[in-house]
Chains A and B, each alone.
Chain A
Amino acid sequence: MTSRGTPSRFLKSVLQNGVGRYVCQLKRISIVFSRKGQSSLGVRDFIEEGVVDYAKKNPGTVVYVSPQPKSLPKIVAEYLNGNIREECIKNKTSQEVLEVLTKLTNQSGLDVIRIRKHFHTDSPSIQGQWHPFTNRPPSVGPISPQHPRRKED
């Protein structure tokens, strides 16, 4: 689809996160896997070794580990603004699962859609935005040409 048919948003941060304190936007993470499935092999290895370290490193995120029979392994991430993202981790190694988790941790919960402009500022003008009467001498009625705008040394 064209970018006009798909949704888009402007660049923003969630409540100026990072200007003061940085708050991790990831609220809850649920690792869904199956005990005996070949696709969840990497996930099971990750749960054996890496998940506790991950949970300790991110104290603001709640980690749920839910084994479900005959299910495809996936990670469900819930963010503070209510967005839910699901990532499929089928046939991934333990290292790759950790990479997916760090990617989800670093994201804010804003939608992953086309960003219209990759820049944004809340103060676009410091000295004041130009308008036709900046740098014009004050006058009653039209400005007469006897006030020539010469550069004064």
Chain B
Amino acid sequence: MRTEILSPRQWATFARSWFIIDARMQPPGKIANICSIRLQGKHKPIYHALSDCGDHVVVINSRHIAFSGNKWEQKVYSSHTGYPGGFKQVTATQLHLKDPKAIVKLAVYGMLPKNLHRRTMMQRLHIFAEEEIPDDIRANLTEELPQPREIPRKLNEYTQEEIDAFPRLFTPPKDYRMK
């Protein structure tokens, strides 16, 4: 026999969370993987494809993503306008300059399951090119996800003591000429 109402428990179990992730200096594919897992709800033990258990994800600093390798010049995004002769191909750099949100958006779109739920999940993804996000979204956030890639420190971020303390293989003589 039930002694308590069961509906608030169900509402708590299926509540939708809001996650935020900073895409500065991160590869967009890894960001997209994290987003797609959370948008589908696969991080939850109650996951089922028909349950509509996905969460919201906010991506900030999408203008400052970092492709590895030569992808900025080599990766090509293709589309067709539908008209003859309308096949367009743009490199990642050109697309990013035209729309700084497009690369992350296309990456997530390709990683979501190819069914009718995909559009709903994309509506729950919020991408912002810079740090500023609207106040109502900021009020909803519950968790900030850790960044997938550790950002390496630039040389000017090291203190002089750390540079001096770094072990050297050999000390070159004063008249040694580096190639």
Contacts and interface: CB of A to CB of B under 8 A. Distances in A.
Given A16-B1, A132-B142, 7 more contacts: A129-B12, A130-B13, A132-B17, A142-B142, A142-B144, A145-B147, A148-B146
The range of chain B's interface size is 10 to 19
Interface string B27-68: 000000000000000001110000000000000000000000
A129 B9 CA distance: 8
A136 interface: yes
B84 to A, nearest CB: 50
A136 B15 CA distance: 14
A131 B141 contact: no
A153 interface: no
Nearest to A145: B146
Contact of A132 (B15, B145, B147): B15
21 contacts: A16-B1, A122-B1, A129-B9, A129-B12, A130-B13, A131-B9, A131-B12, A131-B15, A132-B17, A132-B44, A132-B142, A136-B143, A142-B141, A142-B142, A142-B143, A142-B144, A144-B144, A145-B144, A145-B145, A145-B146, A148-B146
A131 B45 CA distance: 9
Interface residues of A, number: 12
B58 to A, nearest CB: 10
B131 to A, nearest CB: 15
Interface of B: 1-2, 9, 12-13, 15, 17, 20, 44-46, 141-147
Please indicate which of the listed interface residues A16, A129, A132, A136 has the most CB atoms of chain B within 10 Å of its own CB.
A132
A145 B13 CA distance: 23
Interface string A114-153: 0000000010000001111000100000111100100000
The 8 closest A-B pairs by CB, nearest first: A145-B146, A131-B12, A143-B143, A142-B141, A132-B17, A145-B144, A131-B13, A130-B45
